[in-house]
Chain A
Amino acid sequence: MAEEVPIARSPIVPADPEVVAAGWAVSGRRSSAALRITDCMPLAKVAIKAPLGGAMAHGLGVRFGRSARQRWEIGEGEAVVLVVGAGPGEWLVLGPPRTQDRLRSVLCHTAAVTDELVSVIDLTHGRALLRLTGERSGDLLAKECGVDLADEACPDGAALRSAVSGVATDLIRDDVDGADRAPTTSYLLHCERSSGQYLFDSLLDAGAELGVDIDGYVPPGL
């Protein structure tokens, strides 16, 4: 007795109003605050493990510590994905909602043509994903993360893993266009799912004096 695919739920309880977008229960709240935090859970998240310096690694074309936007052919149609060098021989591919299955099969096909050992694992539901946007997002993160995030040390496109509020977190500097189209500092934070709500609350608390506000999710959000 097959049935409709149910609504997916983020580990982070959506701020009111709760709406459905791309099959996910998300927050419909809109904020224009200078410092905003958004739950980006609906994004597809696929983890890859492959030998360093191998064909798969070369194909992904992003080294550990950096991230890059790429346009991929996935089954029927294209998708803009963010490929992250998340660790030594470890990558994370973020894509638009509902693309995880296609991303996985594309990656599996690529892996198949190399004769390397490659793990392609869909972690769309297994991780929490937040976006922190605003000129002072670095100041907020400086309260919870010990790594130097100054532009020189951590420019746009940088990717690193460290402890944020004591939780192992992938930090990706991924600036976005601000109101006047000028790039605004923005970070993606990616951690193990069950700590998502805690991390979200911790950042809200730390950012209170900086006026951080919750901004709902709008697809594609990448």
Chain B
Amino acid sequence: MTVLREIGRAPDPMAMRLDTRPGEVVDRETAFTFYWNGHSYPAYEGDTIASALAACGVRIFSRSFKYHRPRGLLTADYLDPGCIVQVDDEPNVRGGHRLARPGMTVRPQDTWPSLAHDVKAANGLLGRFLGPGFYYKTFIRPQSLWPTYERVLRRFAHGGEVPATAQAPGGRPRYDKRFAHPDVLVAGAGPAGIAAAVAAARSGAQVVLVEEEHSLGGHLRWGGPADLTALQELRDLVGATPGIEVLTNSVVLGRYDDNWVAVVQRGLAGGAERLVKARVKCLVVAAGLLERPYVFAGNDIPGVMLSTAVRRLVNLYAVRPGTRAVVLTANPEGDATAEDLTTAGVQVVHVEDARRGGDVVRAFGRSGVTAVEVAGGRRLECDLLVTSVGWTAPVSLLTMAGNIPRYDERCARFRPDVARLPSGVMATGGIVGDGSTAELVAHGEATGREAANRADRLAREWRTMAPQGSGEGAARPAPRPESARIPELAPQPHPELFRGATHGIVDFSEDVSSKDLFTAVAEGYRYVELAKRYTTATMGPAQGKLETVNVVAIVAEATGRTIAETGTTTWRPPYAPVTLGALAGRSREPRRVTPMQPWHELHGAVPLVAGAWIRPDHYGDPESEVLAVRERVGIIDVTPIGKIDLRGPDVPRLLNLLYVNRWSKLDVGRVRYGVMCAEDGVVLDDGVTGRLDIDHYLMSTTSSGAATVWEWAERWLQTEHPDWQVQVTPVTTAYASVNVAGPRSRELVQRVVDDIDVSSEAFPYMAVRVGQVAGVAGCVLWRIGFTGELSYELHIPASYGLHLWERLLEQGRDLGVRPFGVEAQRILRLEKGHLIVGQDTDGLTRAFSAGLAGLVKLDKDDFVGMPELGWQRESGDDVRLVALRTADPALVPHEGTQLIDGNDRICGRITSSRMSPTLGRSVCLAQVAEHLAQPGTEVAIRLTDGGTAVATVSEHLAQVDLQGVRLRG
């Protein structure tokens, strides 16, 4: 089809390139080629993809979303909806902004030769039926067909393609982040923005000046000689003023609560992007003005452009946008455009002046404008139609600060309510009002000075609060006096032009027409938000910057309300689309390892990710690790176990408060197992606590609970009992911890301790000793038995952890010592019937449901969760933790499988299950309904394959060493 042929057409090298223009940004000394749609095209350094292609006469860059109409340049900048392309593996690149690079491969995104016929049809017929929400009205019956319809709809999805696999790290752009604390951040480097930055810096402020485009100066860049002179002066000022950090090709993404401002720096070396997170003391928004498209029949035909697009192409890139032009102008910029065209050798066949009632009724043509009908029915042949019908103030950063813009019919645009801005946010430049360059600069300077003052006041406030000031040097010079009032920047009168006499496209990326909006209103979607959602106007990649005001105006027209009554729509961050990569930055996931990790890695440990901790799950054969412990001796690295140092006379009160059991009488040298519950009686954590000295205790917690329990203790002490004499210090990783378990563990420990008698008499079960181990003083040993075996937990100053580990293996070689991992430990404790908080308990499991009845001391004065546990004991109906014995000893039901009662109702679940190498049969823990918890009760397990198996509730949770002989041996 013609359109595709045109896109595929071989380049006509720089046919539309003009002779050197005074303000051009292209470097004619540096030429190169790149690829567009499979063909090689020339470009100059400084060209955007769009300008380089336009210079070669390319007029069509994409196809529209719904009707697949050909689309050309509209704004020739980042916002251009007609020039969104695929660059290499990057989708949705803005061709009007992205600089052309040697060898880059650029492809159109939405031209589907394979769909040529659909496309043709869509262009010709379908349009009338694809009205707003047409999909809500059809594909309803038969429902069975909807998935098929849906697949067709999905093929219409607009946009580029993402690769299935990430680039090799080398080729992958590097993403980075940094924090910044500028006094003043200026968003937008037009004349007012530059003036504000310079004035603020001269007042002593640290300033960041952010410009979305590749160079400073805003609209001055494509202006006349006077503008270019002013531009040079302003740029020199920036260069000459210390304290200004300039970020170009960077955009302020959003202003969040408390002036938390996000800026993304694009196009750094190697395509890198950096997110700057700035706590800005005063934000100055100088976003300028955006030119607004005009709505009329044919307003999306290639060759219909905004005046700013034409001036960019002609003056910045020296590109002739057409040969015969008609200009619709309502303001001086439009007039200037006509002059620019003439100087560029474009024949301006007619200038239609909207200030004198001129108008454009419709444009003719398909793949390009061929003629225009103006007011009065005159038809003019042309290949370029320029519109200059008004401006939109990009107020989104201000609305993010809670400001509500007001419609001002005098200048036909929404303006920020500057009087109501928070003190940390100011605005200057076109977004506020109109004026000569001198007036804009004056307004910017005054704003910049005031911004510096406000920043200074906040800085003083914060400095006085921060404790780390040295007292001396930190003092700043005395506060500056209030700056002179900021001059008025009055908006110039401008005719209200939104839609002409005919219907045309309102949202170019979504293919939404003014007719669609009228229809939506007629169907009852009368609120702008509803009309937007129903038609999807403003939902596309242009984020509504070009079309929102036209949408509001047209909904107003359709509902017979005024624009002010109709109101505007919410602006949401980000201000510009931003890559997931830039938002993610360098991947940064905290990772914790024990002192023995190097050994584990060397010896084939299979890693287990447990929160931030990386631990050995096993060393290849967990079952034999289990047997080694049961029959000989094993060692496990349990460093992650939480350890908290508690000191002070009131420690027992704290323990009595946090634990459900009693702590008043714990002798020095003894340890005790304890369980903590929350105020709702739900089990929170467990562990042993030992008394090392009169007022000195060491508490242990679960690995995952270490931080929680520390905060829990601090919380009760700080907020409920600030009078208690207790000091809490977390010492989890001050010690490397090794559990030595198994019948021969005493022998092994004996060989490494230097000054501790480990005989059963001197060091009984549930005792703690402090002494020297493997040449290292200050070690803590306690004799406990999570595994159910005789075992000692050795805590050694962490820098010697690896040394101890290696000593144990070497000293225990003849004893058959073996390292074991978390998996073996899980099996061992399960054989012994010891629960794991968070696995055998859940978010509703209270102490009496976890087999802890014997522990709970309801006669204490108080402890956390006491009342709920009291009531739980009375109310009989709850769940209980039991050990289950499957009829088939070989059956290991999955953890999480459900227990079923006689009425096929769920009555419990398996919480832990493993094949026991020790018993040669499966062992399970389960939560069952209380009435089924009696030993000997038979329960049915609903297996994952749907089958059922029978199991019996055991007498004890433990299946190994019921009397605990091994423990106490």
Contact = CB atoms under 8 A, between A and B. Distances in A.
A11 B593 CA distance: 8
A154 B586 CA distance: 26
A122 interface: yes
B775 A153 contact: no
B467 A64 contact: yes
Contact of B727 (A5, A119, A124, A142): A119
Contact of B729 (A11, A47, A85): A47
B467 A65 contact: yes
B349 interface: no
Nearest to B730: A192
A197 B594 CA distance: 10
Nearest to A50: B727
B816 to A, nearest CB: 21
A145 B774 CA distance: 40
A28 interface: no
Contact of B798 (A2, A139, A173, A193): A193
A146 B729 contact: no
B277 to A, nearest CB: 7
A154 B179 contact: no
Interface stretch (B11-19, B550-558, B645-653): B645-653
A9 interface: yes
Interface stretch (B68-76, B406-414, B799-807): B799-807
B485 interface: no
Contacts of B649: 117
Interface in A1-45: 1-11, 13, 24, 41
Contacts of A127: 734
A160 B640 CA distance: 27
A158 interface: yes
B178 interface: yes
Interface stretch (A179-187, A198-206, A212-220): A198-206
Contacts of B640: 194
B647 A2 contact: no
A123 B734 CA distance: 6
Contacts of B467: 63-66, 85, 160
Chain B: number of interface residues, binned into ranges: 35 or more
A50 to B, nearest CB: 8
A32 B751 CA distance: 47
A9 to B, nearest CB: 5
A197 B590 CA distance: 10
Contact of B590 (A6, A119, A166, A209): A166
B279 A125 contact: no
Interface stretch (B214-222, B470-478, B822-830, B841-849): B470-478
B370 interface: no
Contact of A154 (B468, B590, B648, B730): B468
B490 interface: no
B592 A194 contact: yes
Given A6-B803, A47-B729, A145-B179, A66 B468 contact: yes
B180 interface: yes
Given A5-B775, A65-B466, A155 B473 contact: yes
Given A11-B595, A125-B797, A155 B734 contact: no
Given A142-B178, A142-B179, A154-B468, A125 B800 contact: yes
Nearest to A209: B176
Contacts of B586: 205-206
Given A150-B181, A159-B468, A202-B588, A2 B754 contact: yes
A13 B598 contact: yes
A119 B733 contact: no
A128 B727 CA distance: 22
Contacts of B732: 192, 194
Given A117-B727, A126-B735, A192-B733, A153 B466 contact: yes
A155 B727 contact: no
A206 B754 CA distance: 45
B127 to A, nearest CB: 52
B530 interface: no
A126 B639 CA distance: 12
B469 A158 contact: yes
B463 interface: yes
Nearest to B269: A209
B594 A194 contact: yes
Given A143-B176, A193-B733, A125 B799 contact: yes
A119 B734 contact: no
Contacts of B494: none
Contact of A9 (B462, B772, B802): B802
Given A2-B775, A117-B647, A193 B181 contact: no
A222 interface: no
Contacts of A119: 645, 647, 727, 729
Contacts of B734: 121, 123, 125-127, 193
B144 to A, nearest CB: 51
A126 B727 CA distance: 18
B609 interface: no
Nearest to B470: A155
B115 interface: no
Given A7-B803, A146-B179, A152-B476, A1 B754 contact: yes
B778 A122 contact: yes
A99 interface: no
B281 to A, nearest CB: 10
A110 interface: no
A120 B727 CA distance: 10
B694 interface: no
B473 A148 contact: no
A198 B776 contact: no
A9 B648 CA distance: 32
Given A7-B803, A195-B592, A121 B463 contact: no
A6 B180 contact: no
A148 B591 CA distance: 26
Contact of B595 (A7, A9, A198): A9
B594 to A, nearest CB: 7
A47 B729 CA distance: 9
Interface string A158-170: 1110000111000
A156 interface: yes
A154 B467 CA distance: 10
B173 to A, nearest CB: 13
Contacts of B810: none
Given A152-B463, A152-B474, A4 B775 contact: yes
A69 interface: no
Interface of A: 1-11, 13, 24, 41, 47, 49, 63-66, 85, 117, 119, 121-127, 139, 142-143, 145-146, 148, 150-160, 165-167, 173, 192-195, 197-198, 202, 205-206, 209
Given A192-B730, A198-B591, 8 more contacts: A3-B775, A6-B775, A6-B803, A125-B734, A143-B179, A153-B462, A165-B590, A194-B613
8 contacts: A65-B469, A117-B725, A139-B178, A143-B178, A153-B462, A153-B463, A155-B470, A195-B591
Interface of B: 176-181, 206, 277, 279, 462-463, 466-470, 473-474, 476, 586, 588, 590-595, 598, 612-613, 639-640, 645, 647-649, 725, 727, 729-735, 751, 754-755, 772, 774-776, 778, 797-803
* Minimum-distance CB pairs A-B, first 3: A126-B734, A65-B467, A158-B468
